A = this chain, B = another copy of it.
Amino acid sequence: VDGAGKGETVNLLNEWMDPRHIHTHAFDNPSDEERERPPMWRYWRALPPRGRIGIFFGHWYAGPLFDRAFLKVRRAPLTRHIHDIARFEEMLVNEGALMLKFWFHLSKPDQRRRLKVLAADPRTAWRVGEAEHAQYENYARVCKMAGDVMRETSTARAPWMIVEGTDPYYRNLAVGNTVLRALRERLKHRLPATEKERTPPLLPAVDSRDVLATLNLNQTLTRDDYARQREKWQRKLNALSRHPRLKRLAVVAVFEGHDAAGKGSGIRRVTQALDARLYRVVPIAAPTEEERAQPYLWRFWRHLPRHGRVVIFDRSWYGRVLVERVQGLCSEFDWMRAYPEINDFEEQLTASGIVLVKFWLSISKDEQLRRFREREQTSFKRFKITTEDWRNRRKWNDYHRAVCDMVDRTSTPAAPWTLVEANNKYFARIKILRTLCERIEAALEALHRG
């Protein structure tokens, strides 16, 4: 509630603790760089790294809550948004964030008194503007909405704390004590219990269909046909990339696949068709130190394109449910929760106008062996083959299972997987180019229709 002393208490927290370790963020109108990304992008870029405290004002609740209270949006979008927030916060907590949510409350007469006091003092009068008056006029509705939202988003691990704002001594001590006790508690136990949690075993897909086994990997395409079709689709892709309506969209292409399946050469056939000013290829290797200090999706959020741009991920966030799962680099709980987290992430991308195209390049075990050997024998390709490739190959069946689960659980209507039969490189490259064109074209069409 406006005037309930949020600012004063936060200022005091900064005094009581060491402001060098606290990042306080106030969110007003988004900048143009923020407007061209999914709404949560601005919060992701402001997340504190491990070891720091982030204080968020006017955070992810404020916008949707007040929009609804002032009847700017209907009920359904708020419900949807609340759902998204709940899952976002669950992810943060699972990533090890200690999360505390405070609602500063005032009764209606107290709010009136408080706003009057603020308005009367020339040093604080600036704080009482139209928004504050609107909030006061809609006091009952704001409180009702806030109550609903808090009930729906208060969880055992990220509960809401309601703070009576009338008495500043009470308010400050209540918040300060809560922060202190929560920090102490966490420092004693170090990690949230989820690390040790067991998850129910994954069942195979309902129809027990082995999606990779259904592929006919030995598609053929002659060199001449390839040259003709490549010319056609690259020309098409180039035209699409310069389409005026693309300025209101962005494209994210994800390339995953067996080692040596031809991701790199597939990507190059795509970039050949694009102006270098428009695209960026992001190779995903080991995360940097700054990336390791953040939730695992953070390193992908930071590369999201502005409108009109194309970003190609050479490997991606799917590493968590592929290599990290198979090689035991993260806990079962972590990769299990990754499926819904990834779906939430991708839904935000597509909802904000990003055309998301995901390719899985599949080759047979024999074909992989042939290519590994060929690489070892070609001097300028030798650097591409490492002991890691051979290590992954020994777990071929585990990867197979992981890929099936991945496709099963993350192929959504807005972001379906495209499985590419890649034993024949020509066939694979054309399928990639064609799919990309078709998906972009469909998005431009949809934009045109409205």
A residues near B (Cβ < 8 Å) are: 7, 10-11, 13-15, 18-26, 31-33, 55, 57, 123, 126, 238-239, 242, 264, 267-268, 271-272, 274-283, 288-290, 314
CA of A75 to CA of B327 in the docked complex: distance in angstroms?
63
Question: Which residues of B have CB within 8 Å of A24?
Answer: 276-277, 279-280
Tallying the copies of this chain within the complex gives 2
Assess A281 versus B126: contact at CB under 8 Å? Given A14-B271, A32-B31, A290-B289.
Answer: no
CA of A69 to CA of B250 in the docked complex: distance in angstroms?
35
B15 pairs with A277, CB closer than 8 A? no
A15 pairs with B289, CB closer than 8 A? no
A-B CB contact pairs (8 Å), 8 listed: A14-B271, A19-B279, A20-B264, A20-B267, A22-B281, A123-B242, A126-B242, A289-B289
Question: Which residues of B have CB within 8 Å of A21?
Answer: 283
CA of A33 to CA of B306 in the docked complex: distance in angstroms?
14
B20 pairs with A281, CB closer than 8 A? yes
Determine the main DSSP class of A at the interface with B.
mixed
The smallest C-beta distance from A231 to any residue of chain B, in angstroms, reads 14
Assess A275 versus B7: contact at CB under 8 Å? Given A19-B267, A267-B19, A289-B288.
Answer: yes
Question: Which residues of B have CB within 8 Å of A281?
Answer: 19-20, 22
CA of A280 to CA of B48 in the docked complex: distance in angstroms?
13
CA of A22 to CA of B277 in the docked complex: distance in angstroms?
11
Question: Which residues of B have CB within 8 Å of A314?
Answer: 20
Question: Which residues of B have CB within 8 Å of A23?
Answer: 280
The smallest C-beta distance from A409 to any residue of chain B, in angstroms, reads 28
Of all A-B residue pairs in the complex, the 4 with the closest CB atoms, nearest first, are A26-B277, A289-B289, A20-B283, A24-B276
Question: Which residues of B have CB within 8 Å of A279?
Answer: 19, 24
